[in-house]
Structure 1
């Protein structure tokens, strides 16, 4: 059975996923209710349980995976084609754009899933761990290809992901990209020294 399409071609399932990601980024997992997703997406009520028989939790888990795959794909692509400093700058540029275009209202959907409503969605733990591992692995692989030993590359990759994600939180709190710029400048110096 084909999905109902909107004028821009997105199915009701995709509209609901996109809306769930947006709600996660802007308001956290606690704000993601079936009603909020339906209102945000304009999808018909019956489509939730048709596409997501597990209801809210199935929708949240699918949205976490979608957001993780999108960001992982972007990070992996950058890390395959750029030197370490350029890769950092390109990832930071993605965040600057997201923060500015949302007037500092949208953060990381994956971080939101970790810190908000986690007890109500334990099945997301594995997906979240895999997503962060993909990000760290992409940076670690890039650093190994750039001459770092594996142990150091892994630690620097962990620090990079933690620092950038923390900077995004600070950017939202301060309504400024300055924290991200500061983190990027210090990470670049660290990579130069290493």
Structure 2
């Protein structure tokens, strides 16, 4: 057997093993609501802007976050009014690169990590939409905040793609110089609603 055949055989075995069902024991505690104050604090720790508002104030909070941003794109199914926003109708990467901001909703927020999870359904848009514009304004309702990662996982559909966001995009070089905006939006603005 050649080295190539050995590698392909190992890959086939790994893929077959990954397809076998896995029994995951249930957690012995119920899904608890997350601590919204902790979530807001952790999101802010990532250099994101966090604003709290009531449900009837979301449109104004989003408009304030977008002030001076320039062009804005929104996904299909966004339940909030964003005057002048372009609807995403499979915009190309080049077209998205010309857009300054995006407004989305989220599937879940994780209090202990300050992470927002998008499952790219209605109101959340496709992954490229949330990674290309420089500013991401994300609306998260209080009832979407859960305590920890296992609670978040229980709320997600395993057949849907997800994007996990912990603050604005950032990376560091070998000398630990922080650079923002390399792998996604340079600025994250979270509107917490409840």
Structure with bigger RCO (C-alpha 8 Å, 6+ apart): 2
More helix, by proportion: 1
The normalised TM-score by structure 1 is 0.24
The structure that has the greater radius of gyration is 2
The normalised TM-score by structure 2 is 0.24
More strand, by proportion: 2
